Every structure is written in structure tokens, then in C-alpha cells.
């Protein structure tokens, strides 16, 4: 029953989505574990859609935040530079950008991923003096009007109440099957004076579509986009809100492809502790806004800076990368074995790093797996345009044993769905 949730149903807007899937009220969390009000334990294979890469209540990060607060560190500091921000700027510069040979200026666009995307689109339009933007089928970029216009999901677009324009959608890598290189369509459109499409200011792309169904672009395709951007003087915006901060195995998800985006959007786990924080990385020559041209009361929260600075320490000695690699491998092995066992039901395994999932022939099965997993104490969600993908994305810091325990629960859930049902 939903007795626990009566309060929420009466007092909170219907736009909530969680009551539908997780029929309980949560009270505590630590690492990759959560507990509900009744003390029941759950394994987190969702991690706030990528906001909790270092786990819940990470002790290293928490002690920094607590120390900072106990020492009367400033929390809100509109229009004032702070030590906490200074430390974050320097740490990000020296520990993240420099070792990767990247040169960006940092901009704090507001607390959310949506804010970062919105700022990126605005900058690209101001820099180029053009309005059109290329985005891709199944893309997810956010809920405000600019970012929503670049989001492919028709259901979510329908919530806008106004017509959304300024975007040309092209097929993402793999959208037209494995053999068709969709970047050729972009090339053709850009070179065809009769295409009827205004020259775009920018191309905005996710290296893998988190909400759109774990479609991963190949390095080659991303490199093609980059060279088309250079050729046609469009800015390349990588939306790394969900895939960034290590989800795919490297701090930035585009490192493997070796591309150099003009603008990078980061949020979710950049705040380290699940604190709202977003970052827009811009090539220095695109730092064209005048003071006050883009503002916001909650741009840059100092608790976020403190947490984010400590989170960067996870990237200093290579152990996190190694753990991601090992975990990714065991998740892959498990999913492939499962897909082979239920070949008639499961179409394929998708994703990489610590965001992988099962694509079901019948989308209802993906939802059913999530519900059954929840009954067994695993939190996970679906993605994809038809919610046909059951998505595993635990915190990167999850213990090996807990990961295995969670996967065993998924195995039991699938067995309950298929093996027993068919006897
Ligand atoms: N871009 C991508 C790729 C995302 O996955 C998301 C969130 N799911 C966003 C943007 C929007 O971020 P937020 O929900 O923090 O506004």
C-alpha cells in the first residue's frame, strides 16, 4: 500500500515522478546504501542519475563541509569572491584541466545542469550572432526553454506551453542503424545552400545519451562533429552533465575521443556531495559576457565549492579510475550473461563504464524489472524514448561485494519474471 505516501500525494505537485516507482519514504543513506523510514535497506543503482558518483554522505567530503561550517565559513556570498571559490578554481585548474591539457575559463551558471546548458547556448549564440543550434534525436539537455528546445523528448517538450524553436534535430550516432554514419547527413546539410537550414551557432551533444537510452557515440563520430564545427565555425558544446565526473571511466566523457569542445556543461556530481552546483567551461576567447549580463542569486554556493574541491582529490592517484574499470567490466559481464540467457526478451546490452543497461524488446519489462528489483531492495530506473532500457548506474565508489549483491538481486528478479512465469 501507499499509506506512507499520503502526505506527499496531498501536499506535493503531481509533477513528481518518484512516488510511481519507489513506494516508500527514505530516511538515511550512506555510500551506495539507503534506508527507508521503516529501516529497510536498499542498494542504490541509480545514484541520483549521476549526482552521487562518490556515494551518499561520503566521509571525506562530509568532514570538509562540516569543518567549513563549524569555522563559520561563508555559505552564500552573492557578488563577493570567496576563499572557497578561489580554492576550487585553483584545484580544478591544476588537478583536472592542466593534467588533461585543457584550457577553459570557469563560469558558474546557477545550481543545475539545465542552467549550464542554458548558459552554453546563450554564449554560443552571442559569440556567433546566429540562433540555430544542432541537437540530436533522443537528446536530453534540460527543462528551461532554451535547453528544452534542444531536448528531443516530445512528451517533455509538450510541457512547455509555447512552441520551441531555434533547433535543428539530426540523427544521433547509431540512430539509423550500425552501418550508417549519421554525421554524413550533417555534413550534407551544412554544405547544401538549398537545405533551408540557417547556419547553426553550435552543435550540442552528449557523448552518451543518459536519458535517451544509453546510446553511446563512437570516438570517430565525435571527431567528425568536431571537424564539422571547425569547418563551419560552429561551437562544439559537450553536455557532460550526466556522463561527466567519471561516469564513463574518465573525468570528462570526451577524453577518450580526444576532442576539444568549445564549451563543456557539468553539473550533478561536480558538487561532490549531491549539493546543487553547475559549471560551464568555456574556451577563454568565448568569455564574452559583460558583468551582469548573466546573473542569478544561487550562482556558486560555497558549500558546493568546498565539497567539489574535496571530490577532486578522488582523481589524483588513479585508484578511482581503476575501480571504475573493474566495476564496469563486472557489470558488462553480468549484463551480457543475462542478455544471452534471456535472448528472446532482451534485445541488447548498452552503455559503458558505470552506466550500462539492458534493452528490452517489450518496454514494459524494463519497468517491471525496476519494480521487482525495488521489492528486493535495489533502486534503479529506466531510460530511453520508450522507457525500454533498465539502467544500472551505482555510485562509482560502490564496494565490489555490494555491486555483486545488487546484480544478484537483479538476476533473481529476472528469473522471477521469466523462468517461473513460463513454467
Ligand atoms: N543534460 C543532461 C545530459 C542530463 O542528463 C540532465 C539531467 N538528467 C540535464 C542536462 C539537466 O540537469 P538538471 O536536471 O540538473 O537541470
Q: Does residue 240 have its Cβ closer than 6 Å to ligand 1? A: no
Distance from residue 187's CA to the centre of ligand 1 (Å):
28
| Per-residue pLDDT reduced to its tens digit, 86-145 | 999 999 999 999 999 999 999 999 999 999 999 999 999 999 999 999 999 999 999 999
Position 8 pLDDT exceeds 80: no
Q: Give the pLDDT confidence score for residue 4 in this predicted structure.
A: 65
**Contact assessment for residue 132 and residue 198, using Cβ atoms and an 8 Å cutoff:** yes
- Closest ligand 1 atom to Cα of 139: 3
- Closest ligand 1 atom to Cα of 142: 11
Beta-carbon contacts of 42 under 8 Å, excluding residues fewer than 6 positions away, are 26, 33, 34, 35, 36, 374, 377, 378, 379
What's the pLDDT band for 17 if we cut at 50, 70, 90?
Answer: low
- Closest ligand 1 atom to Cα of 211: 5
In sequence order, what DSSP letters do the residues of 26-59 get, joined into one string?
EEEEEBTEEEETT--EEEESSHHHHT-TT-BT-H
Q: Which residues pair with 282 in a beta bridge?
A: 105, 263
354, with CB counted inside 10 A (0-12, 13-18, 19+), is buried
- Closest ligand 1 atom to Cα of 51: 15
| Residue nearest atom 14 of ligand 1, based on CA coordinates | 113
Provide, for the chain, the percentages of residues in helix, strand and coil under a 3-state DSSP scheme, each rounded to the nearest 5.
40, 15, 45
State the chain's mean pLDDT as an integer. 95
Supply angle C-alpha 195, 196, 198, rounded to 5: 105
In sequence order, what DSSP letters do the residues of 323-380 get, joined into one string?
HHHHHHHHHHHHHHHHHHHTTTTEEEEEEETTEEEEEESSHHHHHHHHHHHHHTTEE-
Of 10-24, 114-128, 153-167, 281-295, the range with the lowest mean pLDDT is 10-24
- Length of the chain measured in residues: 423
**Contact assessment for residue 368 and residue 417, using Cβ atoms and an 8 Å cutoff:** yes
Q: Does residue 113 have its Cβ closer than 6 Å to ligand 1? A: yes
Q: Give the pLDDT confidence score for residue 19 in this predicted structure.
A: 58
Q: Does residue 274 have its Cβ closer than 6 Å to ligand 1? A: no
Rounded Cα distance between 213 and 224, Å, is 22
Q: Give the pLDDT confidence score for residue 18 in this predicted structure.
A: 62
**Contact assessment for residue 222 and residue 205, using Cβ atoms and an 8 Å cutoff:** yes
* Residue 168 grid coordinates: 535543428
Chain center to CA of 111: 14
Instruction: Please give the helix or strand (H or E) that residue 167 lies within, else none.
Output: strand 167-170
Beta-carbon contacts of 275 under 8 Å, excluding residues fewer than 6 positions away, are 301, 303, 304, 307
**Percent of the chain residues past pLDDT 90, beyond the cut:** 92
Position 366 pLDDT exceeds 80: yes
Distance from residue 147's CA to the centre of ligand 1 (Å):
9
Q: Does residue 241 have its Cβ closer than 6 Å to ligand 1? A: yes
**Percent of the chain residues past pLDDT 70, beyond the cut:** 97
Instruction: Please give the helix or strand (H or E) that residue 11 lies within, else none.
Output: helix 6-11
- Closest ligand 1 atom to Cα of 49: 8
Buried b (16+ CB within 10 A) or exposed e, 80-91: eebebbebbbeb
Chain center to CA of 209: 8
Distance from residue 267's CA to the centre of ligand 1 (Å):
8
Distance from residue 377's CA to the centre of ligand 1 (Å):
26
* Residue 31 grid coordinates: 555510500
DSSP 284: G
Mean pLDDT of the 373-398 span = 97
Rounded Cα distance between 375 and 42, Å, is 9
Q: Give the pLDDT confidence score for residue 422 in this predicted structure.
A: 56
Among 46, 51, 110, 114, which is best to mutate for testing ligand 1, by the most ligand atoms less than 8 A from CB? 114
- Domain borders along the chain are 61-315, 318-363+373-385+397-423
Rounded Cα distance between 198 and 152, Å, is 19
| Residue nearest atom 5 of ligand 1, based on CA coordinates | 242
Distance from residue 386's CA to the centre of ligand 1 (Å):
18
Instruction: Please give the helix or strand (H or E) that residue 296 lies within, else none.
Output: none
Mean pLDDT of the 384-391 span = 96
| Per-residue pLDDT reduced to its tens digit, 213-233 | 999 999 999 999 999 999 999
Q: Does residue 211 have its Cβ closer than 6 Å to ligand 1? A: yes
Among 53, 113, 239, which is best to mutate for testing ligand 1, by the most ligand atoms less than 8 A from CB? 113
Distance from residue 113's CA to the centre of ligand 1 (Å):
5
What's the pLDDT band for 21 if we cut at 50, 70, 90?
Answer: confident
| Per-residue pLDDT reduced to its tens digit, 297-331 | 999 899 999 999 999 999 999 999 999 999 999 99
* Residue 313 grid coordinates: 582529490
- Nearest Cα to Cα of residue 166 among 185, 145, 187: 145
**Contact assessment for residue 282 and residue 237, using Cβ atoms and an 8 Å cutoff:** no
Buried b (16+ CB within 10 A) or exposed e, 334-353: bbeebbeebeebbeebbbbb
From the candidate CATH numbers 3.20.20.70, 3.40.50.300, 3.40.640.10, 3.20.20.140, the one assigned to the domain spanning 61-315: 3.40.640.10
* Residue 52 grid coordinates: 552521487
What's the pLDDT band for 1 if we cut at 50, 70, 90?
Answer: very low
Among 217, 241, 266, 274, which is best to mutate for testing ligand 1, by the most ligand atoms less than 8 A from CB? 241
Distance from residue 39's CA to the centre of ligand 1 (Å):
31
Position 423 pLDDT exceeds 60: no
What's the pLDDT band for 146 if we cut at 50, 70, 90?
Answer: very high
| Per-residue pLDDT reduced to its tens digit, 411-420 | 999 999 999 7
Distance from residue 117's CA to the centre of ligand 1 (Å):
8
- Nearest Cα to Cα of residue 31 among 72, 59, 1: 59
Amino acid at each position: 500500500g501507499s499509506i506512507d505516501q499520503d502526505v506527499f500525494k496531498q501536499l506535493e505537485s503531481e509533477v513528481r515522478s518518484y512516488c510511481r516507482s519507489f513506494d516508500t519514504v527514505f530516511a538515511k543513506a550512506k555510500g551506495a546504501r539507503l534506508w527507508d523510514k521503516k529501516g529497510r535497506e536498499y542498494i542504490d543503482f541509480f545514484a541520483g542519475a549521476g549526482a552521487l558518483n562518490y556515494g551518499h554522505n561520503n566521509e571525506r567530503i562530509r568532514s570538509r563541509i562540516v569543518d567549513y561550517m563549524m569555522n563559520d565559513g561563508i555559505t552564500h556570498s552573492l557578488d563577493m569572491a570567496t576563499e572557497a571559490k578561489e580554492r576550487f578554481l585553483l584545484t580544478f585548474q591544476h588537478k583536472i584541466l592542466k593534467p588533461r591539457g585543457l584550457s577553459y575559463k570557469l563560469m558558474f551558471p546557477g545550481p543545475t545542469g539545465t542552467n549550464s546548458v542554458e548558459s552554453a547556448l546563450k554564449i554560443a549564440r552571442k559569440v556567433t550572432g546566429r540562433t540555430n543550434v544542432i541537437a540530436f534525436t533522443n537528446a536530453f539537455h534540460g527543462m528551461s526553454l532554451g535547453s528544452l528546445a534542444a531536448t528531443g523528448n516530445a512528451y517533455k517538450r509538450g510541457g512547455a506551453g509555447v512552441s520551441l524553436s531555434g533547433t535543428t534535430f539530426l540523427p544521433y550516432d547509431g540512430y539509423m542503424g550500425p552501418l550508417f554514419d549519421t554525421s554524413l547527413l550533417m555534413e550534407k546539410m551544412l554544405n547544401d545552400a538549398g537545405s533551408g537550414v540557417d547556419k547553426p551557432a553550435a552543435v550540442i551533444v552528449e557523448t552518451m545519451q543518459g536519458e535517451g537510452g544509453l546510446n553511446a557515440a563512437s570516438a570517430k563520430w565525435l571527431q567528425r562533429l568536431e571537424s564539422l564545427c571547425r569547418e563551419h565555425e560552429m561551437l562544439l558544446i559537450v553536455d557532460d552533465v550526466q556522463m561527466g565526473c567519471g561516469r564513463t571511466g574518465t573525468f570528462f566523457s570526451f577524453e577518450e575521443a580526444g576532442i576539444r569542445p568549445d564549451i563543456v556543461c557539468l553539473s550533478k556530481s561536480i558538487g561532490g556531495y549531491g549539493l546543487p552546483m553547475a559549471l560551464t567551461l568555456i574556451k577563454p576567447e568565448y568569455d564574452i559576457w559583460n558583468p551582469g549580463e548573466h546573473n542569478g542569486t544561487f550562482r556558486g554556493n560555497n558549500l558546493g565549492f568546498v565539497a567539489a574541491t574535496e571530490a577532486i582529490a578522488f582523481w589524483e592517484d588513479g585508484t578511482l579510475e581503476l575501480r571504475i574499470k573493474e566495476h564496469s567490466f563486472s557489470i558488462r559481464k553480468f549484463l551480457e550473461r543475462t542478455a544471452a540467457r534471456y535472448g528472446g526478451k532482451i534485445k541488447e546490452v548498452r552503455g559503458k563504464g558505470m552506466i550500462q543497461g539492458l534493452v528490452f524488446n517489450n518496454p514494459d519489462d524494463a519497468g517491471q524489472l525496476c519494480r521487482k528489483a525495488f521489492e528486493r531492495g535495489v533502486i534503479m530506473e529506466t531510460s530511453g524514448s520508450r522507457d525500454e532500457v533498465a539502467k544500472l548506474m551505482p555510485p562509482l565508489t560502490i564496494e565490489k561485494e555490494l555491486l555483486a549483491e545488487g546484480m544478484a538481486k537483479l538476476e533473481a528478479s529476472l528469473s522471477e519474471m521469466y523462468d517461473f512465469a513460463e513454467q
